[in-house]
Amino acid sequence: MKKANMIVDKDWQISEIDKRIYGSFIEHLGRAVYTGIYQPDHPTADKNGFRQDVAQLVRDLQVPIIRYPGGNFVSNFYWEDSVGPVTERPKRLELAWRSLETNEVGLNEFTKWARSVDSDVMMAINLGTRGIEAACNLLEYCNHPSGTKYSDLRIAHGVKQPHNIKTWCLGNEMDGPWQTGHKTAQEYGRLAEETAKAMKQIDPTIELVSCGSSSAQMPTFPEWEANTLDCTYDFVDYISLHQYFGNRFEDTDNFLAQSMEMEHFIKTVIATCDYVQAKKRSKKVMKLSFDEWNVWFHSNEADDDIMKNHPWQKAPALLEDIYTFEDALLVGLMLITFIKHADRLKMACMAQLVNVIAPIMTQTDGSAWKQTIYYPYLHASKYGRGIALQSVLSSPKHDTMDFTDVTDIDSVVVYQEQQQEVTIFAVNRNLSEDIQLECDLRSFEGYHLIEHIVLEHPDLKAVNSAMIQQVAPKLSHESILEQGKLTTLLHKASWNVIRLGK
Ligand code: AHR
């Protein structure tokens, strides 16, 4: 049997994990809002029209922050359309997804819903078709207490207390030619710089995210980061990263190695930020916000057809990827990668949360259900809070089409000091062999095994549905902790969460 070894010590600390790395995203896209979180005629809807079956699944995930309202959607969004009496709100052509936006759910309804599921809002502004003025008015509407045009308008709309939204994205994917109002790095850098300065005049307590590249494959990456940060460095707090993966060539070994590409992306962005920091002789260390990430490819063809041949529908079924078991493994690997970079990565948003490339799906005339990817996200969010530890792992390796030296096992360890708990997250991405992992945990004296949760399935392509949850976690009984040494069997193709307590 193949073996791997790991040494973990409570003093080898990477950083405290910012809980916001378990954030998510709701865009006015497809059925995320309408018939997703909001469906007044659903039997579980509350008096505001929000589905409580969905809200409960979101609460269970403990999502600390939700990005809103887009995405590509935001680059032609007129926020004023989404506030005030619902019957007076205009319907709009939504350019990013060629859909109809009715504005039945807007800013105030969404922030109220977010509070009800214990999440903060990460608000994105339109730097595509609009600019400084609209951004300032929106911020005044949201965060200024009262006594000015837009704060009083909010109060007139029945929202007395300011929303106090702390985190703001300066546009979305402005490097992408598909973006309405796409810009060059120079154009975006200057606009973002001036918008940031004005917004911080209104509310100096806010934190701002400058747009990074839409993916590591963009031809302008990483010059985009270097050039835009040259303008925005002193005025923003984060730079964004976005990345989606897919198993387009039916090569699962290669697919599961893509978290290495994600890691390389993170390291390159850090290096670019540090280059700008050095150039500017700045003391400020730029933080990272990986505010769109997931697997996304299953629905591509169907989406092209809807947008091209059936445009301007309200809530069309767009981006409804049905996730396989192997997708859940890559999601687990991506989460492990985030935790390893907890020192610089302070926010991340799984894109998205409901119906649109999402862990939660809804039937309009039925229930809400959990996709395969729901589970690694749930486990990381629940048990991945605390201090990320720098473990030393030695694992068998393999090569794939695009990657060399891919470790069979990838793992990260989180120490919850206060609760005196330790969680080991580990994926065995070897598709044919179980691996025995021996873990030296001697610095955790007096700890015992709480549980070993495993997500596995004989069919890599297994999916869940409203009827069947065939990919769901279960308990493994193949871990033993004796005298500070954990011996565990990590089954081929499996996601593992091993929890220890004192
Ligand atoms: O999450 C779906 C889309 O992916 C977002 O709207 C956009 O920002 C990205 O290209």
Contact between residue 310 and residue 263 where contact means Cβ atoms under 8 Å apart: no
- Ligand 1 within 6 A of 321 CB? no
Residues 312, 215, 256, 457: what is their CA dihedral angle, to the nearest 10 degrees? -30
Residue 320 bears catalytic tag: no
- Ligand 1 within 6 A of 351 CB? yes
Catalytic residue among 292, 326, 421, 456: 292
Contact between residue 455 and residue 328 where contact means Cβ atoms under 8 Å apart: yes
Predicted confidence band at 335 (pLDDT cuts at 50, 70, 90)? very high
Ligand 1 atom closest to Cα of residue 178: 10
CA-proximal residue: ligand 1, atom 4 (nearest): 71
Instruction: Give me the helices (H) in 219-311, please.
Output: 223-232, 252-256, 258-279, 300-309
Q: How far is the CA of 105 from the centre of ligand 1 (A)?
A: 20
Ligand 1 atom closest to Cα of residue 352: 1
If one counts every other C-beta atom within 10 angstroms of the C-beta of residue 58, the result is 25
CA-proximal residue: ligand 1, atom 8 (nearest): 71
- What is the amino acid identity at position 71? G
| CA atoms of 479 and 441, how far apart (whole Å) | 13
| CA atoms of 33 and 107, how far apart (whole Å) | 12
Q: How far is the CA of 307 from the centre of ligand 1 (A)?
A: 15
- Ligand 1 within 6 A of 30 CB? no
β-pair partners for 314? 100
- Residue-level pLDDT at 92: 97
If one counts every other C-beta atom within 10 angstroms of the C-beta of residue 273, the result is 24
Predicted confidence band at 368 (pLDDT cuts at 50, 70, 90)? very high
| CA atoms of 213 and 149, how far apart (whole Å) | 36
Query: What are the backbone dihedrals phi and psi of residue 96, each rounded to the nearest 5 degrees, phi first?
Result: -65, -40
- Ligand 1 within 6 A of 27 CB? yes
- Ligand 1 within 6 A of 421 CB? no
CA-proximal residue: ligand 1, atom 9 (nearest): 71
Predicted confidence band at 132 (pLDDT cuts at 50, 70, 90)? very high
Tokens 């835009």 correspond to: 228
| CA atoms of 170 and 142, how far apart (whole Å) | 16
Predicted confidence band at 52 (pLDDT cuts at 50, 70, 90)? very high
Query: What are the backbone dihedrals phi and psi of residue 374, each rounded to the nearest 5 degrees, phi first?
Result: -60, -40
Residue 173 bears catalytic tag: yes
Half-sphere exposure of 456 (CA within 13 A, CB side): 23
Contact between residue 290 and residue 338 where contact means Cβ atoms under 8 Å apart: yes
Q: How far is the CA of 198 from the centre of ligand 1 (A)?
A: 26
- Ligand 1 within 6 A of 72 CB? yes
Tokens 């007395």 correspond to: 160
- Ligand 1 within 6 A of 181 CB? no
Predicted confidence band at 76 (pLDDT cuts at 50, 70, 90)? very high
Percent over 90 (pLDDT), the chain: 100
- Among 242, 243, 300, 357, the mutation site with the greatest number of ligand 1 atoms within 8 A of its Cβ is 242
Catalytic residue among 80, 173, 193, 225: 173
Q: How far is the CA of 216 from the centre of ligand 1 (A)?
A: 15
Ligand 1 atom closest to Cα of residue 173: 8
- Ligand 1 within 6 A of 173 CB? yes
Q: Tell me: cis bond preceding 158? Omega within 30 of 0 counts.
A: no
User: Tokens for 45?
Assistant: 């809807």
Q: How far is the CA of 351 from the centre of ligand 1 (A)?
A: 8
Predicted confidence band at 117 (pLDDT cuts at 50, 70, 90)? very high
Mean pLDDT computed over 464-488: 96
- Ligand 1 within 6 A of 18 CB? no
- Ligand 1 within 6 A of 215 CB? no
Residue 212: which of 130, 122, 288, 294 has the closest Cα? 288
- Ligand 1 within 6 A of 71 CB? yes
Mean pLDDT computed over 72-101: 97
Contact between residue 293 and residue 333 where contact means Cβ atoms under 8 Å apart: no
Tokens 């009715």 correspond to: 102
| CA atoms of 205 and 291, how far apart (whole Å) | 20
CA-proximal residue: ligand 1, atom 5 (nearest): 71
Percent over 70 (pLDDT), the chain: 100
Tokens 């902790």 correspond to: 481
Contact between residue 396 and residue 2 where contact means Cβ atoms under 8 Å apart: yes
Mean pLDDT computed over 308-329: 98
User: Tokens for 413?
Assistant: 């360890």
Contact between residue 427 and residue 409 where contact means Cβ atoms under 8 Å apart: yes
- Residue-level pLDDT at 56: 98
> Residue 43: exposed, middle, or buried by beta-carbon count in 10 A (0-12, 13-18, 19+)?
exposed
Rounded to two decimals, the pTM is: 0.97
- What is the amino acid identity at position 169? C
Query: What are the backbone dihedrals phi and psi of residue 366, each rounded to the nearest 5 degrees, phi first?
Result: -160, -140
Residue 406: which of 427, 379, 384 has the closest Cα? 427
Tokens 């065995």 correspond to: 428
Q: Kindly state the DSSP code that residue 21 receives in the 8-state scheme.
A: G
| CA atoms of 255 and 197, how far apart (whole Å) | 42
Angle, helices 374-383/52-61, rounded to nearest 10 degrees:
50
Q: How far is the CA of 104 from the centre of ligand 1 (A)?
A: 22
pLDDT tens-digit readout, 165-203: 999 999 999 999 999 999 999 999 999 999 999 999 999
Contact between residue 116 and residue 109 where contact means Cβ atoms under 8 Å apart: no
- Residue-level pLDDT at 397: 98
Mean pLDDT computed over 269-296: 98
CA-proximal residue: ligand 1, atom 2 (nearest): 71
Tokens 């819903």 correspond to: 113
Task: Please give the helix or strand (H or E) that residue 382 lies within, else none.
Answer: helix 374-383
- Residue-level pLDDT at 107: 98
pLDDT tens-digit readout, 373-430: 999 999 999 999 999 999 999 999 999 999 999 999 999 999 999 999 999 999 999 9
CA-proximal residue: ligand 1, atom 1 (nearest): 351
The chain-wide mean pLDDT, for the chain, equals 98
- Residue-level pLDDT at 194: 98
- Residue-level pLDDT at 131: 97
- What is the amino acid identity at position 313? Q
User: Tokens for 187?
Assistant: 């154009």
- Ligand 1 within 6 A of 172 CB? yes
Contact between residue 488 and residue 431 where contact means Cβ atoms under 8 Å apart: no
Predicted confidence band at 31 (pLDDT cuts at 50, 70, 90)? very high
User: Tokens for 351?
Assistant: 């894109």
